[in-house]
Amino acid sequence: MVDYDAAVAAVQDPNADPILLAKIAYENPEFGANVAVNPRCYPGLKRWIAEFGDERARETLAQYGFTADAFGGPVQDQEAPEQAAQQAAEQQPADAYAADQYVAAQQTAAVQTAAAQPAADQYAAQQPAAQAAFEEPVATNPYGFTAEQALTTTDQMQIAQIAQYAPELRACIARNPNTYPALIEWLGQLGDPAINAALAFRQ
């Protein structure tokens, strides 16, 4: 949980880490409006706030012309939160915080159904033979993130969540052509050989 003082500082920082902003918006809904107007708030996060943020956050985004409809409709259907909650209960994560994160991950994954497959096919077709030699790591996270998602998703919110909650898939995130520059820079600072090799593949 991001503490209050850290959240205040982050939402006022024009160079704030987008992953931190997403974490604040999820854990501290009262900061949703502040996160929404931060220059580092990326479109996927604005979409999430427009759909799930509190009234003040939604009104703030609406003033700038951002609404859930403007992003192409609701993030998921009405049954998705109930299904995600049921799946979270079946998975039985270690604590309540993990359960909350699992539900959020499932809600975000619901966005990918129609749009992700063409992107995945295009990505696979464009990769040189060296890509075939890449050994996908085994996904061990409790949130259902897969190596294929990490390699191909175009949703910036999901990319941030995978980087934070599925560390075994960070090498895949490093290879994903849609991963945003601030996260690429952060991955390069981790000193992980597999991640460094993946980053070298991008160049």
Give dist(CA 13, CA 38) in Å, integer.
8
- Is the model's pLDDT at 7 over the cut of 80? yes
| Token code pair at residue 30 | 């009262």
Longest CA–CA span in the chain (Å) reads 50
Question: pLDDT band at 91, cuts 50/70/90?
Answer: very low
| Token code pair at residue 180 | 């945003």
Is 78 in a helix, a strand, or coil? coil
149 Cα distance to chain centroid: 11
Is 69 in a helix, a strand, or coil? helix
| Token code pair at residue 68 | 């859930």
Buried b or exposed e, range 128-153, using 16+ CB within 10 angstroms: eeeeeebeebebebbbbbbbbbbbbb
114-157 residue pLDDT tens: 444 555 455 455 544 444 456 788 888 888 899 999 999 999 88
Question: pLDDT band at 70, cuts 50/70/90?
Answer: low
125 Cα distance to chain centroid: 24
Give dist(CA 98, CA 38) in Å, integer.
27
159-174 residue pLDDT tens: 989 988 899 999 999 9
Q: What pLDDT is stored for residue 172 in this prediction? A: 93
The mean per-residue pLDDT over the stretch 25-36 comes to 88
pTM of this structure:
0.40
Among positive and negative, which fits the CA dihedral 99, 103, 109, 114? Answer: positive
Task: Give which of 104, 37, 64 is closest to 21, Cα–Cα.
Answer: 37
Is 60 in a helix, a strand, or coil? helix
Mean pLDDT of the residues in the chain: 75
Residue 110: half-sphere exposure toward Cβ, Cα within 13 Å = 18
Q: What pLDDT is stored for residue 101 in this prediction? A: 54
174-183 residue pLDDT tens: 999 999 888 8
- Is the model's pLDDT at 109 over the cut of 80? no
What ranges do the domains of the chain cover? 4-70, 147-201
